[in-house]
Amino acid sequence: MEVCAVRRIAVVGAGQAGLQVGLGLLGAGGYEVTVVAARRPEEVRGGRVMSTQAMFGPALRVERAAGLDLWEGEAPGVRSVDAVLVPEPGVRALEFTMTMDEPAQSVDQRLKMARWLELVEERGGRVEYRELDLAGLRELAAANDLTVVAAGRGELAGIFERDAARSPFDAPQRRLAALYAHGVGAPDPAAGPRARMHAVPGVGELYLQPALTLSGRCDILLWEALPGSPFDCFDDRPGAVEQLERMRELMARYLPWEAELWAGAEPTDPGGSLCGALTPVVRRPVAELGDGIAVLGIGDAVVVNDPITGQGANGAALAADACLRAIVERGDGPFTAAWMTGVFEEFWERHARHGVELTAALLTMPDHLQEVFAAAGEHEAVARRLARTYADPADYAEWLATPELAAAYLASVGWSGSVAHP
Ligand SMILES: Cc1cc2nc3c(=O)[nH]c(=O)nc-3n(C[C@H](O)[C@H](O)[C@H](O)COP(=O)(O)OP(=O)(O)OC[C@H]3O[C@@H](n4cnc5c(N)ncnc54)[C@H](O)[C@@H]3O)c2cc1C
């Protein structure tokens, strides 16, 4: 009988992508897993929020299948998103509801990653707590059969070369702020958990979603400000309380109906706010470190999207799943640079490129997309398909990628209107 040697796999980064790969390999059996984490679980729980982490049906199904859906009963399941266009301050124009096929969910990554990290050790994996530098990465990779770099947008991602042809932007498209709050009202509390989306052309977008945080249920506001617009006012990183005050003032001017719902709100905790900006980028998935050593990048380490379409954590979850399956299928075969490239390219074509293209389109809103949103205001089928495309961006290529595809689809649902393009 042939006996397979235990394979040693190292994972750098204890986020959505890295922990899912690590825990997946421990579940599969036959792997010696080392996760390198920059922070201990208690530091993660006591730290600042990292994301708004809305996750859609396909990514949640992957977590469920892996037994990692530990908050399923507690986290609100969001079935619909109420969208409002605000063409000028205080004016509600186009309004529609996007109903999702499967509920979306947001579990504070502080809660989720801290617990998943503890699970790695409970399930027999090793965790090394340190911030890995390039020399440390080389050493780690030399000692393992495969090293997966899932270190997010940090410095280490610089080992993966930027892929200019696939990177849609070279600067941040929005200035971001997020706030976790208790006490936010709902327009119709009897309707169950619903997300809300406000687009203020030339100024920015606001996304509100019910979520689960360390202190229970909360609402999370993702604030997407066009650089230089009135919404772009958190560069000084004011802290949760002051950030909420400024947000409330701006909401009172632009979205007074939303400001009313925030009248009694307060931040969930001092770490419940976030400000900054990110440059969307696609990198080459393999870094050669010399002496024949190559490492594979997944998640934000190689594909970074603006959160406007919520593709980051979803993409990281699906990338981790693809990576895990490929490792297991590889059996005793060598983890060569060519194999790594193949794993990424397959995932790029099937999923990642669509997320990047959808996000670029939503950031720039070409005329045909404005038309689709206008049609969604009148046709439930269009709104539903938009919701489906956020959850599975591969559908973008089928109906939104070109003006011709969008026109053909809109004609098929009987839309004959048009929007005035500025
Ligand atoms: C404001 C905001 C809102 C967002 N909202 C959404 C959303 O609603 N939906 C969605 O799907 N996505 C969203 N995202 C994106 C999402 O959070 C990320 O895409 C996702 O977390 C990426 O997961 P990851 O595992 O690749 O990286 P990360 O979550 O960044 O994890 C990387 C880990 O590696 C660790 N690390 C980094 N460097 C090192 C090192 N040198 N040594 C050891 N460890 C290291 C980090 O500490 C971290 O724990 C949002 C992002 C932002 C900024």
What spacing in Å lies between the alpha carbon of 255 and ligand 1's midpoint?
Answer: 30
Q: Give the pLDDT band of residue 5 (cuts 50, 70, 90).
A: confident
For residue 53 and ligand 1, the question of a CB distance below 6 A is answered with yes
For residue 52 and ligand 1, the question of a CB distance below 6 A is answered with yes
CB contact burial 366-389 (16+ within 10 A = b; e otherwise): bebbbbbbbbbbebeebbbbbbbb
Cβ neighbour number for residue 209 with a 10 Å cutoff? 24
Q: What is the pLDDT of residues 287-310, one digit of tens each?
A: 999 999 999 999 999 999 999 999
Q: Are 249 and 242 in contact (CB under 8 A)?
A: no
- Residue % of the chain over a pLDDT of 90: 97
What spacing in Å lies between the alpha carbon of 14 and ligand 1's midpoint?
Answer: 9
User: In the structure encoding, which two tokens stand for residue 86, read together?
Assistant: 């605000």
pLDDT at 146 over 50: yes
What spacing in Å lies between the alpha carbon of 153 and ligand 1's midpoint?
Answer: 7
pLDDT at 420 over 70: no
Q: State the pLDDT at residue 1.
A: 47
pLDDT at 2 over 70: no
User: In the structure encoding, which two tokens stand for residue 17, read together?
Assistant: 């992508």
pLDDT at 422 over 80: no
Q: Are 123 and 26 in contact (CB under 8 A)?
A: yes
For residue 13 and ligand 1, the question of a CB distance below 6 A is answered with yes
Radius of gyration, CA atoms only, the chain? 22
User: In the structure encoding, which two tokens stand for residue 28, read together?
Assistant: 């599969």
What spacing in Å lies between the alpha carbon of 254 and ligand 1's midpoint?
Answer: 30
**Local structure of 56: helix, strand or coil:** coil
Q: State the pLDDT at residue 421.
A: 46
DSSP-assigned letter for residue 162: B
Q: What is the mean pLDDT of the chain?
A: 96
Residue 249: partners with Cβ closer than 8 Å, 6 or more residues away: none
pLDDT, average across residues 114-140: 98
For residue 147 and ligand 1, the question of a CB distance below 6 A is answered with no
Q: Give the pLDDT band of residue 3 (cuts 50, 70, 90).
A: low
> What's the burial of 420, exposed, middle or buried (CB within 10 Å: 0-12/13-18/19+)?
exposed
Angle among Cα 34, 39, 51 to the nearest 5 degrees reads 105
Q: Give the pLDDT band of residue 109 (cuts 50, 70, 90).
A: very high
Least confident of 1-10, 60-69, 169-178: 1-10
How far is Cα 180 from Cα 178, in angstroms, rounded to an integer?
A: 7
Q: State the pLDDT at residue 4.
A: 61
Q: What is the pLDDT of residues 163-222, one digit of tens each?
A: 999 999 999 999 999 999 999 999 999 999 999 999 999 999 999 999 999 999 999 999
Torsion of CA 251, 252, 257, 261, to 10 degrees: 80
Q: What is the pLDDT of residues 266-295, one digit of tens each?
A: 999 999 999 999 999 999 999 999 999 999
Residue 394: partners with Cβ closer than 8 Å, 6 or more residues away: 350, 351, 354
What spacing in Å lies between the alpha carbon of 385 and ligand 1's midpoint?
Answer: 28
Of the residues 52, 129, 153, 363, which should be mutated to test ligand 1's pocket, given the most ligand atoms within 8 Å of the CB? 52
Q: Read off the pTM.
A: 0.97
Count Cα neighbours of 66 within 13 Å in the Cβ-side half-sphere: 28
How far is Cα 19 from Cα 194, in angstroms, rounded to an integer?
A: 29
